[in-house]
Amino acid sequence: MRKFTPRDLTLSAMVAALYFVLCYFGNIFQLTFGPVQVRLGEALTVLPFLFPATAPGLVVGCLLTNVLSPYGPIDMVVGTLATAIAAFATMKMPRWYLAGLPPIAANALLLPPMWAWAEASALNDAFWAAYGLNLWTFVVGEAVACYVLGTVLLRALPRVRYFRPMIPAAHL
């Protein structure tokens, strides 16, 4: 494990702030916590593929965003855990086009049951109906954030001269 440099710490803090601001902005349009959740900040969850130092910033940004969540403290724990798992798994992806899979998978496994429980409060038919609906609407929203917006980031950032020295040679 390598040490965090001041540049890494600054990059991580900037990603945390950007994640929060993008999600807060998206909340104005009911995208962040809406029926089809397209968190604009989730596009940043592909960044650990290029910049491993951004993973802690994503976790902090998600935690700050989930303070606003209508699902309360459980979303602060489970949602932040899902983002942490996704961020650290994204660092291990071998190809850029796979970088969106960990955020989609981690969030699809952990969040829809939480939302379904909040809506149904029991393991009954309403829970399973809510779970199925939440699973598909979530996967669609996360795929838009990670594969549409995130892919734009992954393809554009290596072309920016400032960022090139921070990107591992294997990803250029």
Residue 7, judged by CB atoms within 10 A of its CB (0-12, 13-18, 19+), counts as exposed
Mind listing the pLDDT tens digit for each residue in 11-61? 999 999 999 999 999 988 888 887 788 999 999 999 999 999 999 999 999
Structure pTM? 0.91
Calpha distance 156→166 (Å, rounded): 14
